[in-house]
């Protein structure tokens, strides 16, 4: 499955948030899933600044292309919006890898 990894980015330490998203994606990959990590747009942002709304528009365009969304812990306005988008589109939302694996298996 293609899994959208949603979670904190700007709240707290951005680099730590990116690391957590990448660690989560590695766990998903080990289980046979294909993670999409919107946090990695940080590197694009270094080259070409975009507004928060533009990043959210880009991220929102990827959600319908994913089989589910995994919301990793932590306060995140954008993550909460992404969950709402997925729910509105009837895309399953999970709040832990264990919950996701339980639903879809390895």
CA geometry: angle 55, 40, 21, nearest 5 deg: 110
Fold adopted by 2-104: Rossmann fold (3.40.50)
Residue 75 Rama label (left phi>0; alpha psi -120 to 50; beta): beta
Sites in the chain below the pLDDT cut of 50? none
Residue 103 confidence (pLDDT): 82
Residue 102 confidence (pLDDT): 84
Residue 3 confidence (pLDDT): 97
CA geometry: angle 90, 52, 80, nearest 5 deg: 35
Structural domain spans, the chain: 2-104
- pTM summary value: 0.93
CB atoms within 10 A of CB 11: 14
User: Which helix (H) or strand (E) is 4 found in, with range?
Assistant: strand 2-6
């Amino acid at each position: 499955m293609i899994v959208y990894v949603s979670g904190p980015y700007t709240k707290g330490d951005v680099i730590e948030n990116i690391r957590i998203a990448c660690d989560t994606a590695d766990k998903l990959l080990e289980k046979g899933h294909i993670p999409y990590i919107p946090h990695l747009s940080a590197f694009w942002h270094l080259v070409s600044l975009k507004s928060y709304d533009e990043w959210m528009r880009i991220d929102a365009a990827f959600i319908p292309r994913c089989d589910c969304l995994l919301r990793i812990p932590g306060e995140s306005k954008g993550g909460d919006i992404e969950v709402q988008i997925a729910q509105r589109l009837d895309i399953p939302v999970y709040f832990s890898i264990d919950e996701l694996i339980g639903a879809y298996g390895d």
